[in-house]
Structure 1
Amino acid sequence: MSATVGIASPQHLDQVLQSSRFVVVNFYSTTNSSSTQIAPIYERLSQALSRPGAATFAKVNVDTQKDIPAAYSVTELPTFIIFRGGKVADKITGADPARLQAVVKKLAADVENIGSSEGGGSAESWRGADLPRGYGDITSQIEVQRTELLNFDSSTGGVRVLFEASQPSALSGGETISTKDWVESDTDEQLLLFLPFQSMLKLHTLQITSCPPVDDEDAPKRPRTIKLFTNKPHNLGFDEAEDMSATQTIELSEKDWNALGTANIPLRYVKFQNINSLVMFVVDGDGDSNSEKVRLDRLRLIGEAGEKREMGKLEKIGDEPGE
């Protein structure tokens, strides 16, 4: 699954800029040979360096999004613009892999500096509940490009929105059809989420935010029963998750959700030491709604992160034959 965000509108770009400290945007055209040539290199950089709330890689098709390239004076393809804190920090024109790699490697160092605070999480990431004393937000340890979410309604947000650093739009009064920064289940109330990690984690708490509309008899429900499985090499099937003994089973009720729609779920810490992946199975929903759907807005992992694994062959990207 690609880690690169395809920008669908100027408003979508604004949302991405607000939700991530660093954003790299590739302005391209499918009919431009230079854009096509450098696209695989950009995709590999995106997969290696994307971090929720810290670094986001995006792309704008100039053939379908005319207003965005005009706003940033893009006249040559491809053009790469690096944003820091929502403002333009650097601009690269043309298919120049060496310069793109040099700028992005500097960006990678800045991202790692952010990740070193609060046990590897982003200090500025929105959370719906306080951190337990002595622990940090380690959501940035999720290897986003390898996550998998099963049985979600594709008309709502994809799996990446669960880890966005921004406050859910439902809490800021900005929820619209075009925003959809949440996930809903599709054919029934169940969801299966696979989360691989960049390092071994000691997981202390899950913070799950669910903000379905109130006073709507057809609104999706909040999760009720959740089963957690640790150290799985890939996602489970629904029948498998139903039958398998879970590392921990959680039963939520209305009293567990705070005013921000967040359930602060303590885990059996001894069972969540040294884990490299987590499967979260939402079994059913809670509430009087007529809907057979469950909604998730945000997910935060709280605990301690071990040593990060090496960035791999990032330094060699662009050095292969033909690049």
Structure 2
Amino acid sequence: MSATVEISSPAQLSALLSSSRIVVVNFYNEENTSSKAIAPVYDQLAGQLSRADRVTFAKVSTVQQAQIAQSYNVTNTPTFIIYKNNQQIKKYAGSNPQQLSEAIKTLAAEAETEGGGYSTGPGEASSSGSGEWRGASLPRGYTDVTDAVDPRGLDLLNADSDFGSVKKLFDMSQPVSLLNGGIRISGKDSETRKDWVESDVDNQLMLYVPFMANVKVHTIQITSCVSGNDEDDEAPVRPKTIHIWANRQHNLGFEEAEDIPATQTIELKPTDWNEQTATAKLELRFVKFQNVYSLVIFVADAEGDSEKTRIDRLRFIGEVGEKREIGKLEKIDHDD
């Protein structure tokens, strides 16, 4: 049986993440009952699935290596974090052996096949063997929580019906306009598969996003594949001023939004956009978005004079907490 690697320093963990294709890290507490209960399951998986330089299992004591636990944003034990090619892709808190086993076995199978690994392409774009795409790298200690979005409750105001539905914003595939590795506005594929949204009567968009679990939102990645042709006043443009509200019971109207202070307002500059991936990162005041069951995202205005604002994808980066009962929005205290 292959032994797990006991981590004794930050440098050792960093080297391991760089040398092995997949790394599973068990952050545990020697005195924690749940940590003790799942330890045999973890060791058994390590014995079955460890592969030299492909799949490595490691353990970090949050008592002896408190600095490492803090730097990887681990506050509860046991916590399991899974990396592919030095990029965090999954994070589990708690001792659910079936969930952990299924996740690791799936990734281990991918590691055995060519092209199944996680890759980082030009301009920080990343994808996996499961077809997931995002336009920027993940901050250390956090994961993509977009799959916690409840698609049944999505609501987008002022969207042009000639383009994709609101659900397209959360599609995990690469935007059609980026299929050739760079922004491509014209072409048959792009025109026939309009997998983005555009505003209708003016450049404002109002989006309501409910979640199936309470989440901590650290960053929002927004992708907007525009042409950059300043001479075309009718070409769609990128969002500029964005107001964000946490934990509203429903979408806001445009007039209502003027009377309710936003949880945070962000103004994007042209330099905030990565031109390879057409993506900007909205870094939130994390303390304001700790226990979120819904977000309202209001694009108040856009770059330039065009009345068309375009958004191709949205990704939410953070942590997933306790699942909610479907259809139930419990009131959570928050600052208005």
| TM, length-normalised to structure 1 | 0.57
Cα distance in 1 for residues equivalent to 2:168 and 2:226: 15
- For residues 145 and 114 of structure 1, do their structure 2 counterparts lie closer, same or farther at Cα, with a shift above 3 Å needed? farther
Q: Which amino acid aligns with 2:198?
A: E
What are the within-5 Å matches in structure 2 for residues 27-66 of structure 1? none
Which of residues 238, 252, 267 is equivalent to 1:222? 238
Cα distance in 2 for residues equivalent to 1:184 and 1:162: 11
2:133 is the counterpart of 1:126:
yes
Cα distance in 2 for residues equivalent to 1:113 and 1:310: 24
2:152 is the counterpart of 1:135:
no
Confirm or deny: 8 A CA contact 2:212 2:326 kept in the other structure.
no
Which of residues 235, 249, 269 is equivalent to 2:265? 249
Displacement of 1:195: 0.4
The unaligned stretches of length 5 or more in structure 1 are 1-108, 313-323
Once the two structures are superposed, residues 239-273 of structure 1 have per-residue CA deviations (whole angstroms, 9 ceiling, x without a partner) of: 01122100000000100001211001110000001
Name the structure 1 match of 2:289: 272
Which of residues 243, 246, 249 is equivalent to 1:233? 249
Displacement of 1:213: 2.0
SS of residue matched to 2:274: coil
2:321 is the counterpart of 1:298:
no
Name the structure 2 match of 1:188: 202
Cα distance in 1 for residues equivalent to 2:102 and 2:169: 23
Q: Which amino acid aligns with 2:161?
A: S
Cα distance in 2 for residues equivalent to 1:152 and 1:224: 17
2:203 is the counterpart of 1:203:
no
SS of residue matched to 1:255: helix
Displacement of 1:311: 6.9
Q: Which amino acid aligns with 1:137?
A: D
Displacement of 1:282: 0.4
Q: Which amino acid aligns with 2:158?
A: N
Cα distance in 1 for residues equivalent to 2:312 and 2:221: 11
Which of residues 140, 150, 156 is equivalent to 1:149? 156
Cα distance in 1 for residues equivalent to 2:102 and 2:228: 40
Which of residues 300, 312, 317 is equivalent to 1:283? 300
Query: Which of structures 1 and 2 has the bigger CA Rg?
Result: 2
SS of residue matched to 2:308: coil
Cα distance in 1 for residues equivalent to 2:291 and 2:306: 38
SS of residue matched to 2:216: strand
Confirm or deny: 8 A CA contact 2:214 2:292 kept in the other structure.
yes
Which of residues 303, 307, 322 is equivalent to 1:307? 322
Count of matched residue pairs: 199
Q: Which amino acid aligns with 2:310?
A: R
Once the two structures are superposed, residues 190-226 of structure 1 have per-residue CA deviations (whole angstroms, 9 ceiling, x without a partner) of: 1000000001111000000001123361211100000
SS of residue matched to 2:262: coil
Displacement of 1:114: 6.2
- For residues 310 and 236 of structure 1, do their structure 2 counterparts lie closer, same or farther at Cα, with a shift above 3 Å needed? closer
- For residues 193 and 114 of structure 1, do their structure 2 counterparts lie closer, same or farther at Cα, with a shift above 3 Å needed? farther
Displacement of 1:113: 5.5
Q: What RMSD in Å do the two structures reach over aligned CA positions?
A: 2.8
2:277 is the counterpart of 1:263:
no
Cα distance in 2 for residues equivalent to 1:229 and 1:311: 21
Q: Which amino acid aligns with 1:262?
A: T
Confirm or deny: 8 A CA contact 2:243 2:297 kept in the other structure.
yes
Cα distance in 2 for residues equivalent to 1:188 and 1:307: 38
| TM, length-normalised to structure 2 | 0.55
Once the two structures are superposed, residues 271-313 of structure 1 have per-residue CA deviations (whole angstroms, 9 ceiling, x without a partner) of: 00101000000000013xx52110000000000001223679x
Displacement of 1:124: 4.4
Cα distance in 2 for residues equivalent to 1:249 and 1:311: 29
Name the structure 2 match of 1:165: 172
Cα distance in 1 for residues equivalent to 2:133 and 2:261: 33
- For residues 258 and 145 of structure 1, do their structure 2 counterparts lie closer, same or farther at Cα, with a shift above 3 Å needed? same
Cα distance in 2 for residues equivalent to 1:240 and 1:154: 23
Once the two structures are superposed, residues 108-131 of structure 1 have per-residue CA deviations (whole angstroms, 9 ceiling, x without a partner) of: x99x966999xxxx8742000000
Confirm or deny: 8 A CA contact 2:247 2:293 kept in the other structure.
yes
Cα distance in 2 for residues equivalent to 1:239 and 1:298: 26
SS of residue matched to 2:190: coil
Name the structure 2 match of 1:177: 191
